[in-house]
Structure 1
Amino acid sequence: MHETSLSSVSTEPLQAEAYLERTLSPALVWTLARRELRDSLRDWRIVIPIGLLTLVFPFIMLLIGAALFDFLEQYGATIIGEQMVPFGLLAVGFFPMSFSLVIALETFVGERERNSLEALFSTPASDVDLYVGKLLASLLLPLVASWFGMAVYALAMVRADMWSLDAYTFALIWLLNTAEGVLMVSAAVIVSSHTTSVRAANLLASFIIVPVALLLQLEGLILFWNKTTALWWLFAGVIVLTIALLRVGIRSFNREHILAREIDFLNLERAWALLKAFWRAAPDDVPRVRQVPEEAPPFHLRRFYTQVLPAMLKRDRWAMATGTFFVLAGFGLGWYLARAWHVPAELIDFNRLDVSQLQAQLQANQTGLAMLPRFSVRAILVHNVRVVFISGVLSLFSVGVVPALSVLAPFTLIGGIASVLAAGGQDWGRFLVAFILPHGVVEIPAVVIGLAYALRIGAMVLGPPRDFSVSEGIVLAIADFLRVLILVVLPLLALAALLEVYLTPRVIVALYG
């Protein structure tokens, strides 16, 4: 049977150009992946640490678990030790995956430093073939190590008579670890294709490992409280994010740009010049302004609102759709969790709302609804702007996780309240119309727009636009975020704060009076 190999395919320019127009070739993808796997397995600096983490770390966790069981048994709290078993399984699956991330981080940039990238790119494999082949090779070894480590840990726990997981929970944890592994490797391959040195790629690894480690702790907390159904929401979110990363990675990968990319030095003077130029430029002007910042057109407020802003919103419609999705997902999650956790219906009773007291506060200009320490226009505005601004800052370090949570959290609370009201036979629609709609009709779009551009900052770390370096992409995203925050979000949030203080309480009185 004929076997395709990288050394046997012709590298004639015309043939290569014709091949690049073809679709994905499974044979070439597997050949690329097999070549990478063979090189990784020959490197003792990779094999030995992975082997130790896979074979030794599960027994270390077993010893820790046994010591914990013995300690808790003295106080009759063995159930707490049993609830720690799922977290141990999560950790055992995560650590080999996180260490093996080094393979993915150096997929392309490592080839460049070894001066073997030109030979690899001279093959007639398409960009999609190259990217998928490298991705598959980076993924297989970490996944196998994670699965094997989990199996060793499970067998050791069974032999020690410490196993307390059912097949359903074990399968769920296995799915979560697998999905998070694919997520981390997908992000690492994007980083590797957009950086110019292995050292830079390794530094950016913290932007991948830290958010996933925080997610791991959240999963452990959920498992500790035995709320396994909530993990399916996290699993769905990881799958959606992984698909987005795969899409971004394939679309932004270009072999010519990787070969031509220079070292991405930190140049504060150029970064400041680009920031000012991107602030003034419309989306269509950005590629030209990137080359020559001095050619950025002058800033005009009218031009921004009539031309630049509509073009930005059209270009970033998927970011807006993502923000809207988190609003709806947060409401649905809150509704579901209130039912799943059996929140008592009598906990919230708006039928006993003291409207007369609220009217007296309004007449005295003391609209203290205990929503904030100070229920004033200034306090509400400062709080909302602070949330959006901090989300943008932390988005850079969390790859967009913090902005997503900033949208998800408040609407989860709103959905939970609505669910409790519905369970108690109260009109939850009236609650939304009275407490949320009067100012939310302005505040919600403002928050979605602001946090959508905050999400772009985190996204630029993993997938900058074509021809852009990582630093240039981040500067572009920061410029877009700042001008949207100052010129769009801030005025809308100021109007929403006015409505929340002077209109919303009166609507509450009218509907609940």
Structure 2
Amino acid sequence: MNRRAVAAIVRKDLTVVLRSKAILIPMIVVPLVMLLILPLTMAFIPNLAMAPGAPMSGMDEFMGQMPAALRQSLAGLDEAQMIIVLMLVHFMAPLYLILPLMVSSVVAADSFAGEKERKTLEALLYTPTTDRELYLGKLLSAWLPAMGVALGGFVVYTVVANAAAWPVMGRIFFPNAMWIALVVWVAPAVAALGLGATALISARVRGFQEAYQLGGIVVLPVVALVIAQATGVMYFNMGLVLLLGLVLWLIDGILLGVSLRIFRREKVIEQI
């Protein structure tokens, strides 16, 4: 494995990402909305929910529908604090996973299909690198920005969540162990899922838009997690996070293995 060749491919692709407004703007705007504006808005919900006559003022009935483990984790909190923890810790968990998934999908679509469309991939295909080195460089150029956004977004969200909820919580309550596991175990797997699926799709299509739109299908399972939690079907906890990460890594192994086997520069050259 020629690490210098892989690093050169990564640097080249990251330079393209930083110069592309179509890629860079969503990578900035979406995290700002989800990890800054949304938690600031959620921090005001307890004031509305606890108002006299508010439909959410009956927390006893709501708590009765929760799993016993979740009720136990909320023990000792008043109603306003319960709402803060439910919204900023549990409800936001699956939404956070959309970020690494989105970034890896967008960058991978541009790195594989976008370069075919712009015909800038041809010169790279004729370099003295193996298919494995070329493929690994392309994967890392999508995975690294996704993890950069995920980790940077987590730091921003930690500051915003604690600051916004301070009037209610009166202490630093975030992150908890579940979120640490989510960031270090699940987020990398979600990023790998996005780039693995997009790389597989990009081998069959010719343009960026087609690869990105088809690759967007992988966001549906994350959306399903958001809906399931919002409707009370399930709640994020440590066990679910660890299991989810394991399942995702197994799927990643299959997707990346298949896409590596079908990635042959001869076939790519034929599509240019």
Match of 2:43 in 1: 66
Work out the CA distance in 2 between the residues paired with 1:117 and 1:102: 17
| 2:240 paired with 1:236 | no
CA contact (8 A) 2:97 2:222 kept: no
**Equivalent of residue 124 in structure 1, options 114, 117, 128:** 128
Work out the CA distance in 1 between the residues paired with 2:152 and 2:102: 15
Cα offset, 1:220, TM superposition:
6.9
| 2:254 paired with 1:253 | no
Cα offset, 1:56, TM superposition:
4.5
What is the TM-score normalised by the length of structure 2? 0.78
**Equivalent of residue 196 in structure 2, options 186, 189, 193:** 186
Cα offset, 1:101, TM superposition:
2.1
Letter of the 2:155 partner, please give it: A
| 2:83 paired with 1:106 | no
Work out the CA distance in 2 between the residues paired with 1:37 and 1:55: 21
**Equivalent of residue 151 in structure 1, options 135, 140, 155:** 155
Work out the CA distance in 2 between the residues paired with 1:38 and 1:222: 43
| Larger displacement relative to structure 2 (151-160 or 80-89) | 80-89
| Larger displacement relative to structure 2 (73-82 or 241-250) | 73-82
Cα offset, 1:261, TM superposition:
3.7
- Give CA-to-partner distance per residue, 1:329-356, whole Å, 9 cap, x none: xxxxxxxxxxxxxxxxxxxxxxxxxxxx
Letter of the 1:54 partner, please give it: P
Cα offset, 1:100, TM superposition:
5.1
Work out the CA distance in 2 between the residues paired with 1:191 and 1:106: 12
Question: CA 1:62–1:199 in structure 2 vs 1: closer, same or farther (change >3 Å)?
Answer: closer
- Give CA-to-partner distance per residue, 1:66-110, whole Å, 9 cap, x none: 122222333264324421222224424523641552211122221
Work out the CA distance in 1 between the residues paired with 2:97 and 2:217: 20
Work out the CA distance in 2 between the residues paired with 1:203 and 1:53: 17
Identity of aligned residues (%): 26
Q: Which has the higher contact order (CA 8 A, sep 6+)?
A: 2
Work out the CA distance in 1 between the residues paired with 2:226 and 2:147: 16
Letter of the 1:83 partner, please give it: L
Letter of the 1:260 partner, please give it: E
**Equivalent of residue 88 in structure 2, options 65, 78, 85:** 85
Q: How does 1:463-482 map to 2 (within 5 A)?
A: none
**Equivalent of residue 172 in structure 1, options 181, 193, 198:** 181
Unaligned runs of 5+ in 2: 52-56, 60-78
CA contact (8 A) 1:194 1:258 kept: no
Question: CA 1:240–1:101 in structure 2 vs 1: closer, same or farther (change >3 Å)?
Answer: same
Highest CA radius of gyration, 1 or 2? 1
- Give CA-to-partner distance per residue, 1:273-294, whole Å, 9 cap, x none: xxxxxxxxxxxxxxxxxxxxxx
Cα offset, 1:187, TM superposition:
1.2
Work out the CA distance in 1 between the residues paired with 2:26 and 2:39: 19
Cα offset, 1:168, TM superposition:
1.1
**Equivalent of residue 4 in structure 2, options 24, 27, 37:** 27
Question: CA 1:224–1:153 in structure 2 vs 1: closer, same or farther (change >3 Å)?
Answer: farther
Letter of the 1:167 partner, please give it: N
